[in-house]
Structure 1
């Protein structure tokens, strides 16, 4: 009897909806991104999230933050998330086992890493000098963009 009472907390409408949503979305996710690729996609989405966070803090620090600019980043983010899916579909069409998917995804991860590192530097967060040197051109580009926004 105690076992059945404990199921009352599990068998809720919310859990039912979550399970149904997962069951419907998983095949779609696997179709677009391939199976066994969750780890690399979590890395990419984590990097994009960190890029957003560091970008907000950097722009608030140099007084260039605007909600209009933030909202304009949504289509860019959707584009970044769609590129690996398109690369996976092209891999399937061409018969290459993940060549384009992994190339595009790792390229996006590197690009996003340089962006979030430059943003963190602009925000004044501690970044090792060797890393700052490595992403120096991105830091310079972001500083110039921020300066142009300030003069407008």
Structure 2
């Protein structure tokens, strides 16, 4: 009897909606990105989030941030999330087991790492000199765009 009473907190409309959303989103997610690829996608999503955080910090420090800049980042981010899905679907069509998916995803991770590292440097956050040297051209390009107030 006590067990059934404890289910009152579990069987709520909110939990029902969450379960329904999960049942709909999960198959779509696996269709778009493939199975057993959650770890690499979490790395990509986390790197994109860090890029946003460091980019905002750098732009605020340089007073180069505008609402147009922030709004324009949303379609870019959606595009970055869509590219691995396109790679996965092309892999399925061509019969290659993850070749394009992983190539695109690792390329995006490297690109995003370069961007977030350059943003962190512009924000004045400490980092090893060897890392600064690796992304020197990106740091220079971002600094030039910020100076022109054309940061994109």
| TM-score w.r.t. length of structure 1 | 0.96
User: What is aligned with 2:135?
Assistant: 135
Moved >4 Å (runs of 4+): none
1:3 partnered with 2:3: yes
Q: How many matched pairs?
A: 150
Q: 1:51-130 residue pairs with structure 2 within 5 A?
A: 51-130=51-130
* Contiguous gaps of at least 5 residues in structure 1: none
Residue by residue over 1:50-89, the C-alpha shift from the partner in whole angstroms, topping out at 9 and shown as x without a partner, is 1001000000000001111110011111110100000000
Shift of 1:100: 0.2
In the alignment, the residues of structure 1 paired with residue 35 and residue 23 of structure 2 have an alpha-carbon distance, to the nearest angstrom, of 15
In the alignment, the residues of structure 2 paired with residue 51 and residue 23 of structure 1 have an alpha-carbon distance, to the nearest angstrom, of 30
Shift of 1:2: 2.0
Shift of 1:10: 1.2
User: What is aligned with 2:19?
Assistant: 19
Residue by residue over 1:124-150, the C-alpha shift from the partner in whole angstroms, topping out at 9 and shown as x without a partner, is 111111111111111001001101117
* Contiguous gaps of at least 5 residues in structure 2: none
- For the aligned residue pairs, the C-alpha RMSD in angstroms reads 0.9
Residue by residue over 1:96-118, the C-alpha shift from the partner in whole angstroms, topping out at 9 and shown as x without a partner, is 00000000000000000010011
